[in-house]
Structure 1
Amino acid sequence: MTRVIGLISGTSVDGIDAALVDISGTDLDIKVELLAGKTYPYPAELRESILAVCAEKAISMAELAELDDAIALTFAQAAQNIQTGYQPATLIGSHGQTVYHRPPVKARGQRGRGAGEDNSFLGYTLQLGRGDLIAYLTGITTVSNFRVADIAVGGHGAPLVPRVDAYLLSHPEEARCIQNLGGIGNVAYIPPRRDHWLEKMRGWDTGPANSLLDLAVEHLTAGAKTYDEDGKWAAMGTPCHALVEQWLQQDYFHLPPPKSTGRELFGVDYLQQCLKAAEPYQLSPSDFLATLTELTAASIVQSYQTFLPQMPQGVFLCGGGSRNLYLKQRLQTLLGTIPVLTTDEVGLSADFKEAIAFAVLAYWRQLGIPGNLPSATGAPYEVLLGEIHQPLRVERK
């Protein structure tokens, strides 16, 4: 049994999700027990700085270094706080805060070439909150920078959670979709657990989940609110389906997996495009939020219908958007008879599943077990994910 802390802040930049878990086993026999889970909000000034960088504000290298350290310090504090009242953890898996993500631009399966040659097909990703500082501040071995190894071999570095979902949430007879609803949505399609099932898994970023909704709420309230609690405001409106159909023509929704995206596409500029497109329809604020919610739901269902080998027998939601009752209702309506549940209902916390996943990925890294799923990320083969930072001091004689 290994006690591990998982830490992540997603594209919504709400704060740091921390999970304290006990882990045993390796893959199909892996067992995870959630001891504690909590979200630690970012200080307002730090959140504003992160969002500004995500919106492509130019900053100096000195400012970038300060931001990196500030995020690491906040992550380290979250790791220390989540252990209060428990025996301490021996390992941390820290995803950090994504501030930039660029998917690969050439076909899947191409390999890098020699130094100085064209490697423009490679993706690039940057997560701040450096692991070496977290290890030093907490005194706990820390695994961080999980995405770069997959990207280095030609993958997207995202989504990374499907392999964890496979071992924790698969079913012997049932095909399932595990749909994360963070700032960006991503899906793991898990076929029944038989006949080389892991090779048949699929995963990709479905597009916006909460990102546009949260930005719209901030815009509509002049910053007084940052999200629509339970989707209550959107539920008061009526979606404009003509506008949704127009938005669904966006190239990303028609790009076949493997694929990944982020605020670089579905961010502030995209919201401004949505607002401009909505002007002729004279929508009320609640109608506009209902329409953005419909875009999230419709884009998810369209991607299932287009890219899955078969529709699932159940959809299990996780992430902050799983608490948006209006979004859940719209997904259920569009999916018809396919039940839409949360991962809580199959024994895995919907609120902290992503943090739990990065605890598992750190655990696998320490054991030398690959963490990526090539059918989801587009990498040509499995790789070890994460860089290990030891907090050990060298004693000199």
Structure 2
Amino acid sequence: MRVIGMLSGTSHDAVDAALAELRCQDGEIVLRPGGLLSVPFPERLRTELADSLPPAATTLKRICRLDTRLGQFFGEVAGRAHAELARGQAELVVSHGQTCYHWVEGARAYGTLQLGGAAWIAEATGLPVVSDLRTRDITRGGQGAPLAATLDALLLPRHGRHGALNLGGIANITARDRQGGITAYDLGPAGALIDVAANWATGGAQRMDTDGLRAARGTVDRALLLRLLDEPYYRLPPPKSTGKELFHAGYLRERLRGSGPDPDDLVATVTELTACLVAAACREHALADVTVSGGGVRNPVLMERIRALSAPTRISDSTGSTVCGLPAQAKEAYLFALLGFLTVHGIPGSVPSATGAHAPALLGSITPGAGPLRLPPPVTEPPLRLRIEPVDRTGG
């Protein structure tokens, strides 16, 4: 199948759409990457979304409008991916949507809300759409996250202590133990607090610390870092999940206890916080190597601090890694293409040891496209591994 996987992450700066050619073969899934399309959010839509996220108050009217406008935007991006990447030959779209609220109290997840109506995507492309990929896992007692564990469990070598880290608005990690089992959970903030600090430092002119320039100029405030590391979430055992419902601008402001450090020092401090969280997880799971994906790999200061604090764990980004084999920026989009492929083939897409669910779940809801809904024959034996098939650059 030719599947378009789509998402907008917790940084809500762009919608990424990746084309994956997927097939089941001899107990494994083979994925052939077909390219990535990344489309920045229209400024007005991004502002409306940001103004509606926690801790801001909102209304049902605003949520309804956001669901429609996000769905229309996702539909536009899916249509472009269908035309530009798939040459009109895609068969399925899988949309994670935009997370607007993830309801967690302590160690228990009770619900999750992703906006971006799937019907708008189906109408724009004529293709069936798999969406709402997290809720079913929550109904089985899981966190609904991190779903990246599904791809990582199939892709990471089955022997040895390997890990995979994603640095988006929130950092999440997947770890393989000596017995081949999988543990995965949200570590805490990555871009979520770095973006806030960079935005403050520039009076709202910058959304992020581009190339880590402000962190490079700043000095870590050790007293503030210790206060940030005293967050109770970090002491919860996995499985666990979190989001901007906790780690937002108000959260950071409360912990500054007054005027706080100089702007660049604040950026350096929250960058160091993420590196400390990653390093602690590497030690906790005694990881030999970790492959990193997500927008955070473009921040050289963050990556340098992760490498320094996590030694002797080897840290590499997934662009050139033989462990992962997928481009760092596109990994999550390919993840959702994989999850939708599993769903339409009747294969559960969650990993209970990662999410905490009592059983694996068949994920998502399916919205028909322009024609009758025709699902492929179910796969009776769940695949044991994922193989990335290199793209033939010679035109074959």
- Cα gap change, 1:157/1:289 in structure 2, threshold over 3 Å: closer, same or farther? same
Separation in structure 2 between the aligned mates of residue 218 and residue 139 of structure 1, nearest angstrom:
39
Secondary structure, aligned partner of 2:83: coil
Q: 1:201 aligns with which of 182, 203, 219?
A: 182
**1:243–1:278 CA contact under 8 A, matched in 2:** no
**1:236 counterpart residue number:** 217
Specify the code of the residue in structure 2 equivalent to 1:337: P
Specify the code of the residue in structure 2 equivalent to 1:46: L
Separation in structure 2 between the aligned mates of residue 219 and residue 186 of structure 1, nearest angstrom:
25
- 1:253 and 2:243 are equivalent in the alignment: no
Specify the code of the residue in structure 1 equivalent to 2:354: A
Secondary structure, aligned partner of 2:175: strand
Deviations 1:30-52 (A, max 9, x none): 12122110221111111111111
Specify the code of the residue in structure 2 equivalent to 1:133: W
Query: What is the CA distance between 1:277 and its match in structure 2?
Result: 6.1
- 1:316 and 2:291 are equivalent in the alignment: yes
How many residue pairs match? The answer is 367
- Cα gap change, 1:304/1:28 in structure 2, threshold over 3 Å: closer, same or farther? farther
**2:14–2:39 CA contact under 8 A, matched in 1:** yes
**2:199–2:206 CA contact under 8 A, matched in 1:** yes
- Cα gap change, 1:249/1:58 in structure 2, threshold over 3 Å: closer, same or farther? closer
Q: 1:368 aligns with which of 343, 346, 368?
A: 346
Q: 2:115 aligns with which of 116, 128, 143?
A: 128
Specify the code of the residue in structure 1 equivalent to 2:92: L
- 1:345 and 2:303 are equivalent in the alignment: no
**1:327 counterpart residue number:** 302
- 1:382 and 2:324 are equivalent in the alignment: no
* Runs of 4+ with deviation above 4 angstroms: none
Specify the code of the residue in structure 2 equivalent to 1:383: A
Mapping for residues 1-397 of structure 1, pairs under 5 Å: 2-25=1-24, 29-85=28-84, 86-87=86-87, 88-103=89-104, 105=106, 123-168=110-155, 170-191=156-177, 197=180, 200-276=181-257, 279=260, 283-306=261-284, 308=285, 311-346=286-321, 347-392=325-370
**2:200–2:263 CA contact under 8 A, matched in 1:** no
Secondary structure, aligned partner of 1:40: strand
Query: What is the CA distance between 1:171 and its match in structure 2?
Result: 1.6
**1:207–1:296 CA contact under 8 A, matched in 2:** yes
**1:55–1:268 CA contact under 8 A, matched in 2:** no
Deviations 1:316-344 (A, max 9, x none): 11000011110110011111122110111
**2:278–2:310 CA contact under 8 A, matched in 1:** no
Separation in structure 2 between the aligned mates of residue 363 and residue 189 of structure 1, nearest angstrom:
24
Secondary structure, aligned partner of 1:352: helix
RMSD (Å) for aligned C-alpha atoms:
1.8
| Structure 1, gaps ≥5 residues long | 107-120
Query: What is the CA distance between 1:190 and its match in structure 2?
Result: 2.4
Separation in structure 2 between the aligned mates of residue 104 and residue 34 of structure 1, nearest angstrom:
38
Separation in structure 2 between the aligned mates of residue 126 and residue 244 of structure 1, nearest angstrom:
31
**1:17–1:37 CA contact under 8 A, matched in 2:** yes
Query: What is the CA distance between 1:28 and its match in structure 2?
Result: 5.7
**1:28–1:167 CA contact under 8 A, matched in 2:** no
Query: What is the CA distance between 1:357 and its match in structure 2?
Result: 0.1
Query: What is the CA distance between 1:59 and its match in structure 2?
Result: 3.2
Query: What is the CA distance between 1:67 and its match in structure 2?
Result: 0.8
Deviations 1:264-287 (A, max 9, x none): 1001211212433672xxx32221
Secondary structure, aligned partner of 1:5: strand
**2:211–2:299 CA contact under 8 A, matched in 1:** yes
Specify the code of the residue in structure 2 equivalent to 1:335: S
Secondary structure, aligned partner of 1:351: helix
Separation in structure 1 between the aligned mates of residue 332 and residue 32 of structure 2, nearest angstrom:
14
Separation in structure 2 between the aligned mates of residue 377 and residue 19 of structure 1, nearest angstrom:
25
Specify the code of the residue in structure 2 equivalent to 1:64: I
**1:36–1:82 CA contact under 8 A, matched in 2:** no
**1:188–1:202 CA contact under 8 A, matched in 2:** yes
Specify the code of the residue in structure 1 equivalent to 2:164: I
Query: What is the CA distance between 1:243 and its match in structure 2?
Result: 2.1
Separation in structure 1 between the aligned mates of residue 73 and residue 98 of structure 2, nearest angstrom:
11
Query: What is the CA distance between 1:393 and its match in structure 2?
Result: 5.4
Secondary structure, aligned partner of 1:345: coil
**2:8–2:96 CA contact under 8 A, matched in 1:** yes
Specify the code of the residue in structure 1 equivalent to 2:264: S
**2:307–2:315 CA contact under 8 A, matched in 1:** yes
Deviations 1:299-356 (A, max 9, x none): 22223434x3xx1111111000011110110011111122110111222110010010
Deviations 1:9-60 (A, max 9, x none): 1111111011111111279621212211022111111111111111343333
Specify the code of the residue in structure 1 equivalent to 2:137: D
